Amino acid sequence: MAYRGHAYQGWQSQRGGRTVQDTLQAALVAFVGQPVSVVCAGRTDAGVHALQQVVHLDSPVQRDDFSWVRGTNRFLPRDIAVQWALPVGTAFHARNSARGRRYRFIVLDAPVRPAIETGLCGWSFRPLDGDSMRSAAECLIGRHDFSAFRSSHCQSPTPVKTLRSIEISRRGAYWRFDFDGNAFLHHMVRNLLGCFVMIGSGRESAGWMARVLASRSRDAAAPTFPADGLYFVGPYYDPTLGIPDAPTAADWLP
């Protein structure tokens, strides 16, 4: 499924009910006629978008694959849409079966804040230097303790994660930061982005990133960057499962 995160308090179900999970489960109940619970591949914060959030459910009824798409979307708001559906074996788990996850941050580099794309991109009014940010990213690749970039509300049992790649590119006035890792801590990508902007704008050196990482202290890092412009690109799985890997919604991003 894909969704815009503006109107929601994140993925995770909450008492107020204004979350993506609650909205999806309500639509499934309307379509199926019975209570349905779903599990996602990666929780997203309030305001974070998803290009391909993968969820699994144990279906109480039988429906054609495309009926799950059309039928569920009938009861979803316009900013959430199921993209595809297919049956999987009982051993499949949307979160635990994932081999990795990808996030993308889009940041506008301009002296004036965004208007048309507000909420869909971050913003830096200070010019950013790509070479210094790419140099800073090198120390983050591999298996590390990312405590310095971890929210105090993080529920992960360990701060040790593996970042497989960080790609930083620019198209026009927009910077794109692509993160690929086995898993991510709560606010990890937003905290990393805050550090990249500090370095790219010249307020810190590229070597500062390694010192922040080594400190294992959240106080050593930059403030958490706003969620605007952050997209959960999606998880990826063993190819034999036949799960789509490239979300079509990614084609329109810079």
Residue 103, pLDDT score: 97
User: pLDDT tens digit string along 41-89?
Assistant: 999 999 999 999 999 999 989 999 999 999 999 999 999 999 999 999 9
Question: Is the separation of the CB atoms in 231 and 104 below 8 Å?
Answer: yes
Residue 67, pLDDT score: 95
Residue 251, pLDDT score: 83
Q: What is the CATH number of domain 2-96?
A: 3.30.70.580
DSSP 87: -
Residue 199, pLDDT score: 98
Active-site positions?
A: 45
Residue 152, pLDDT score: 87
Q: How many CA atoms lie within 13 A of 100 on its CB side?
A: 12
Q: What is the CATH number of domain 104-233?
A: 3.30.70.660
For the chain, list residues with pLDDT below 50. none
From CA 59, how far away is CA 45, in angstroms rounded?
27
Please tell me if the domain spanning 2-96 has the same topology as the one spanning 104-233: yes
Residue 100, pLDDT score: 96
Domain range list for the chain: 2-96, 104-233
From CA 55, how far away is CA 52, in angstroms rounded?
10
Helix (H, G, I), strand (E, B) or coil at 107: strand
Residue 17, pLDDT score: 77
